[in-house]
A and B are shown apart, each in its own frame.
Chain A
Amino acid sequence: MKLFEQTIHQLRDLLDNRDISSVELTNDILKRIDAVEDKVGAYITQNRQQALEQAAAADKMLAAGEGRPLCGIPLAIKDVMCTKGVRTTCGSRILETFVPPYDATVVRKLKEQGTPLLGKASMDEFAMGSSNENCAYGVPKNPWNTAYICGGSSGGSAAAVAAGECVASLGSDTGGSVRQPASHCGVVGLKPTYGRVSRFGLLAFASSLDQIGPLTRDVRDSALMLNAIAGYDPRDSTSVQADVPDYTKSLTEGMAGLKIGIPAEYFAAGLAPEVKAAVDKGIAALLAAGAEAVEVSLPHTEYGVAAYYIIAPAEASSNLARYDGVKYGYRNLEADNLADMYKTSRSRGFGPEVKRRILIGTYALSSGYYDAYYKKASQVRTLIMEDYKTAFAACDLLVSPVTPNPAWQLGSKLSDPLSMYLSDALTICNNLAGLPGISVPCGFSPDGLPIGLQIQAPHFREETMFQAAYNLELGLGISNKRPDLG
Chain B
Amino acid sequence: MVQITGNEIKKAANLASLEMNEDEAADMAGQLDKILAYIAKLDELDTTGVEPATHVIALQNVLRDDIVLESLPRNEALSNGPRQNGEAFVVPKIVG
Q: Which residues of A contact B (CB under 8 A)?
A: 97-99, 101-102, 193-195, 208, 234, 237-238, 240, 300, 302-303, 305-307, 309-310, 317, 321, 324-331, 333, 335-344, 346-347, 350, 355-356, 358-360, 362-363, 366, 373, 375-383, 385, 417-418, 421, 432-434, 459
B56 at the interface (CB under 8 A from A): yes
Smallest CB-CB separation from A97: which chain B residue?
B80
The 10 A-B pairs with the shortest beta carbon distances in the complex, nearest first, are A434-B56, A378-B52, A328-B80, A331-B82, A379-B47, A381-B53, A347-B19, A101-B76, A237-B62, A379-B50
Whether A360 contacts B35 in the complex (CB less than 8 A), given A329-B82, A346-B17, comes out as yes
Name 20 interchain pairs, CB-CB below 8 A, sorted by A: A99-B80, A306-B38, A306-B41, A306-B42, A307-B42, A309-B38, A309-B39, A327-B89, A330-B82, A333-B83, A338-B93, A346-B19, A350-B18, A356-B32, A377-B42, A378-B52, A380-B45, A417-B35, A433-B56, A434-B57
**In contact, A382 and B82 (Cβ under 8 angstroms):** no
B86 at the interface (CB under 8 A from A): no
Which residues of B are found within 8 Å of A300, using beta-carbon distances?
Answer: 45
Q: Determine the distance from Cα of A337 to Cα of B96 in the docked complex, in whole angstroms.
A: 11
Which residues of B are found within 8 Å of A305, using beta-carbon distances?
Answer: 38
**In contact, A362 and B15 (Cβ under 8 angstroms):** yes
Q: Determine the distance from Cα of A336 to Cα of B8 in the docked complex, in whole angstroms.
A: 27
Q: Determine the distance from Cα of A22 to Cα of B41 in the docked complex, in whole angstroms.
A: 54
B1-54 CB contacts (< 8 Å) to partner A: 4, 8-9, 11-13, 15-20, 28, 31-32, 34-36, 38-45, 47, 50-54
Q: Determine the distance from Cα of A332 to Cα of B51 in the docked complex, in whole angstroms.
A: 44
CB distance from B44 to the nearest CB of A (A): 8
Smallest CB-CB separation from A372: which chain B residue?
B43
**In contact, A326 and B31 (Cβ under 8 angstroms):** no
Which residues of A are found within 8 Å of B35, using beta-carbon distances?
Answer: 309, 360, 417-418, 421
Secondary structure call for the A interface = helix
**In contact, B79 and A99 (Cβ under 8 angstroms):** yes
Which residues of B are found within 8 Å of A356, using beta-carbon distances?
Answer: 28, 31-32
CB distance from A436 to the nearest CB of B (A): 11
Q: Determine the distance from Cα of A342 to Cα of B17 in the docked complex, in whole angstroms.
A: 6
Additional A-B contact list (13), CB under 8 Å, known A339-B17, A343-B19, A434-B57: A303-B45, A328-B82, A331-B83, A347-B20, A359-B12, A359-B32, A366-B11, A373-B39, A378-B54, A380-B45, A382-B52, A421-B35, A432-B56
**In contact, B13 and A359 (Cβ under 8 angstroms):** yes
Which residues of A are found within 8 Å of B57, using beta-carbon distances?
Answer: 193-195, 238, 240, 434, 459
